[in-house]
């Protein structure tokens, strides 16, 4: 648990109507709804005081209540996960909120701690994580979001495109060691910054890339990026769910 003077709340935004995978949060994964895997792993992270699912759908609400989780209903009109986190924050105590995507299953609780711990001691107002990209396939995949940072570790840009572009790379080999990084789907905010971002209009870059963090960058809000070596499973399609099942079964076998 975090120090009594610091309350860290993880909020998991979850929508039912994803275009590529409707009903994704309640899809069964090893006998549990997928959202339960996300929730339980967030609960296991050090320095986290509270975990709440934010949804606008009664089917997700009922699934979360079914496994004993905490859930809050949010308006259908909210634009993004960040806006849902801000809505929950308005009803919660504490000064620090972490937005964990409802389709991002962390494979080790330390992944969450890798963001919470440095954030609390940094003085940053918004933070996130990156991990080295290891394959050309991931670099080219628009579903894998890339991030480029400055020398102080602050984000310069996030994109679905393979950034930075290596102009003089050999054919078919654009991946550069220690240069290309994947952005992981979790963000941490101070309460004040979260409220500020939720009050901003949708950004031009946010709209075209469909990346909500670009709203903050476009308005001059700096985003500190820390490195993690821990992995997560991002579920975008039914095929991803099947792959996640295989990974989690292997993990269960190693534990037993």
pLDDT digits (tens, 9 = 90+) for 63-107: 999 999 999 999 999 999 999 999 999 999 999 999 999 888 999
pLDDT at site 169: 72
Give Cα 159 to chain centroid, integer Å: 15
Percent pLDDT > 90 in the chain is: 78
Residue in the structure block whose two tokens are 């901003």:
200
Most distant CA atoms of the chain, gap in Å: 55
> Within a domain: residue 111?
yes
pLDDT at site 22: 87
- d(C-alpha 131, C-alpha 12), whole Å: 21
CB-CB contact of 187 with 124 (8 Å) = no
pLDDT at site 5: 59
DSSP letter string, 123-164? --SEEEEEEE---HHHHH-TTS-EEEE-TTSBEEEEESS-SS
> Within a domain: residue 86?
yes
Closest CA relative to residue 94, chosen from 104, 85, 106, 105: 85
> Within a domain: residue 3?
no
- What is the pTM for the complete model shown? 0.91
Q: Which residues of the chain have pLDDT under 50?
A: 1-4, 255-256
Q: What CATH number corresponds to the domain at position 64?
A: 3.90.550.10
> Within a domain: residue 184?
yes
pLDDT at site 2: 46
pLDDT digits (tens, 9 = 90+) for 123-152: 999 999 999 999 999 999 998 999 999 999
pLDDT at site 252: 67
Give me the domain span that covers residue 206: 8-255
> Within a domain: residue 207?
yes
Give the chain's domain count. Answer: 1
């Amino acid at each position: 648990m975090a120090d009594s003077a610091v309350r860290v709340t993880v909020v998991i935004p979850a929508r039912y109507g994803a275009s590529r995978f409707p009903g994704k949060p309640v899809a069964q994964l090893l006998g549990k709804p997928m959202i339960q895997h996300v929730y339980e792993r967030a609960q296991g992270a050090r320095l986290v005081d509270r975990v709440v699912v934010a949804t606008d759908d009664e089917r997700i609400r009922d699934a979360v209540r079914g496994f004993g989780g905490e859930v809050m209903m949010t308006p259908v009109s909210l634009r993004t996960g960040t806006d849902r986190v801000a809505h929950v924050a308005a009803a919660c105590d504490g000064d620090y909120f972490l937005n964990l995507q409802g389709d991002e299953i962390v494979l080790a609780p330390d992944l969450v701690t890798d963001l919470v711990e440095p954030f609390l001691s940094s003085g940053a107002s918004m933070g996130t994580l990156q991990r080295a990209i290891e394959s050309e396939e991931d670099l080219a995949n628009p579903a894998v979001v890339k991030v480029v940072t400055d020398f102080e570790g602050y984000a310069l840009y996030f994109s679905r495109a393979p950034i930075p572009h290596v102009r003089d790379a050999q054919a078919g080999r654009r991946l550069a060691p220690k240069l290309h990084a994947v952005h992981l789907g979790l963000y941490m905010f101070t309460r004040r910054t979260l409220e500020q971002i939720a009050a901003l209009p949708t950004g031009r870059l946010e709209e075209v890339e469909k990346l909500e963090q670009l709203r903050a960058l476009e308005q001059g809000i700096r985003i500190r990026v820390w490195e993690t070596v821990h992995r997560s499973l991002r579920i975008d399609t039914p095929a991803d769910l099947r792959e996640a099942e295989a990974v989690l079964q292997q993990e269960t076998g190693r534990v037993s």
